[in-house]
């Protein structure tokens, strides 16, 4: 959205003007040596720092040129920043060209996502879906939460108990059955412009997979102390226990070792197009890791092939949550 914004006008005009000024600049070079002694105030203390030079015509022009150059650089810098942010949007859950996450929400979601994935690596456990979504949505605005929920095929009311006084939080499957409308995301107009289906689907029994006495299901320790929605602000560790070159923490290392080629087909690599055509997610192809769902993802492209993004994201998330 770069049309007609900003008080300064168009970039092209700036460039033209800049050229004109640069040409004029050579003409009155000799004027520039004038300096002005500040003698205006007898009582005023002497001003420190470099003396202010009089703004001659040439100096003014050079100043303008400098300013324009600086503005152009600043614009480019911000465009680069925005490009990077756009790339980030594409690798966090729920990328949508039509309804873009705001900058701040993108950063927050990315932080949550990184942290949640790091926890998966650290613990080696597939998370409970609700825990995962809660972790993703911590600190996000309601619209963004809706968006994430939409992308994950969830009704946000099922995982934001503090915002849903009309619906008991964390219902057991039986209760879930009593609220049939609440457990499938219906794109209810909460999120106009939401990327259209197909999304993966989640059975209520899957969503509410729980163990007695554990509010978030059997894998909850995984997000221990973080997901209590009415607790203090979510503040994951600044340095998640993840190393890019495969330094998993010990418990997971063993599993990973047992899973042999696990990391070769790990979802991170798929994210960046490493999966290749017909790749499997999470050590598919009969890999020894029992938690790893086998998913056929045909025709995977590099991550720049965004038409596959939603499917990819879905596949990854399904793989994560497939707790067989």
Partner DNA sequence: TAGGCCATCTGGTCCT
Partner DNA sequence: AGGACCAGATGGCCTA
Q: Which of residues 62-81 bind DNA (CB under 7 A)?
A: 66-75, 77-79
Instruction: Indicate the residue among 14 and 323 with the shorter CB distance to DNA.
Output: 14
Q: Which of 47, 82, 221, 272 touches DNA (CB under 7 A)?
A: 82
Q: Return the DSSP state at 296.
A: E
Q: How many residues does the chain have?
A: 324
Question: CA 94, CA 91: separation in Å to the nearest integer?
Answer: 9
CB of 101 to DNA, least distance (A): 7
Does position 51 bind DNA by CB under 7 A?
A: no
Instruction: Indicate the residue among 99 and 289 with the shorter CB distance to DNA.
Output: 99
Instruction: Indicate the residue among 69 and 254 with the shorter CB distance to DNA.
Output: 69
Instruction: Indicate the residue among 193 and 285 with the shorter CB distance to DNA.
Output: 193
CB of 253 to DNA, least distance (A): 35
Q: Which two tokens stand for residue 119?
A: 């926890």
CB of 100 to DNA, least distance (A): 7
Instruction: Indicate the residue among 1 and 46 with the shorter CB distance to DNA.
Output: 1
Q: Concatenated DSSP letters for 5-40?
A: -STT--HHHHHHHHHHHHHHHTTTGGGGG------S
Per the CB < 8 A criterion, the answer to whether 150 and 242 are in contact is no
Q: Which of residues 85-124 bind DNA (CB under 7 A)?
A: 100, 102-105
Q: Which of residues 143-172 bind DNA (CB under 7 A)?
A: none
Q: Which of residues 4-23 bind DNA (CB under 7 A)?
A: 4-9, 11, 14
Instruction: Indicate the residue among 70 and 177 with the shorter CB distance to DNA.
Output: 70
Q: Which of 56, 141, 187, 229 touches DNA (CB under 7 A)?
A: 141
CB of 70 to DNA, least distance (A): 5
Q: Return the DSSP state at 51.
A: P
Contacts 24+ apart (CB under 8 A), 263-271: 267/316, 267/319, 267/320, 268/117, 270/297, 270/300, 270/312, 270/315, 270/316, 271/91, 271/303, 271/312, 271/316
CA angle, 158 then 159 then 162, to 5°:
100
Does position 48 bind DNA by CB under 7 A?
A: no
CB of 290 to DNA, least distance (A): 42
Cα–Cα nearest to 296, from 282, 223, 305, 182:
282
Element (DSSP H or E) covering residue 297:
strand 296-297
Q: Which two tokens stand for residue 286?
A: 């009969």
Q: Which two tokens stand for residue 118?
A: 């790091």
Instruction: Indicate the residue among 2 and 306 with the shorter CB distance to DNA.
Output: 2
Q: Which of residues 189-208 bind DNA (CB under 7 A)?
A: 192
Residues engaged in binding DNA (CB under 7 A): 1-9, 11, 14, 66-75, 77-79, 82, 100, 102-105, 141, 192
């Amino acid at each position: 959205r770069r049309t007609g914004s900003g008080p300064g006008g168009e970039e092209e005009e700036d460039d033209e003007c800049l050229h004109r000024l640069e040409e004029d600049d050579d003409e009155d070079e000799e004027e520039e040596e004038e300096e002005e002694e500040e003698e205006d105030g007898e009582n005023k203390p002497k001003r420190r720092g470099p003396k202010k030079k009089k703004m001659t015509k040439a100096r003014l022009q050079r100043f303008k040129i400098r300013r324009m150059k600086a503005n152009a650089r600043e614009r480019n810098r911000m465009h680069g920043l925005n490009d990077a942010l756009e790339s980030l949007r594409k690798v966090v859950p729920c990328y949508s060209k039509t309804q873009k996450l705001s900058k701040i929400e993108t950063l927050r979601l990315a932080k949550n996502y990184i942290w949640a994935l790091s926890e998966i690596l650290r613990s080696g456990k597939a998370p409970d879906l609700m825990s995962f979504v809660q972790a993703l949505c911590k600190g996000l605005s309601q619209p963004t939460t809706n968006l994430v929920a939409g992308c994950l095929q969830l009704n946000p009311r099922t995982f934001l108990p503090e915002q849903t006084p009309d619906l008991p939080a964390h219902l057991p499957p039986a209760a879930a059955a009593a609220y049939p409308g609440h457990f499938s995301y219906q794109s209810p107009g909460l999120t106009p412009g939401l990327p259209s289906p197909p999304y993966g689907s989640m059975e209520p029994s899957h969503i509410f997979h729980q163990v007695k006495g554990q509010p978030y299901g059997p894998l909850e320790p995984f997000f221990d102390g973080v997901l209590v929605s009415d607790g203090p602000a979510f503040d994951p560790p600044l340095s998640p226990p993840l190393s890019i070159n495969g330094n998993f923490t010990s418990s997971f290392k063993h599993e990973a070792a047992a899973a042999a080629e696990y990391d070769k087909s790990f979802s991170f690599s798929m994210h960046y197009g490493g999966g290749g055509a017909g790749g499997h997610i999470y050590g598919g192809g009969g890999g020894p890791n029992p938690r790893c769902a086998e998913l056929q993802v045909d025709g995977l492209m590099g991550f720049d092939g965004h038409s596959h993004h939603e499917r990819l994201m879905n596949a990854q998330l399904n793989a994560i949550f497939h707790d067989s």
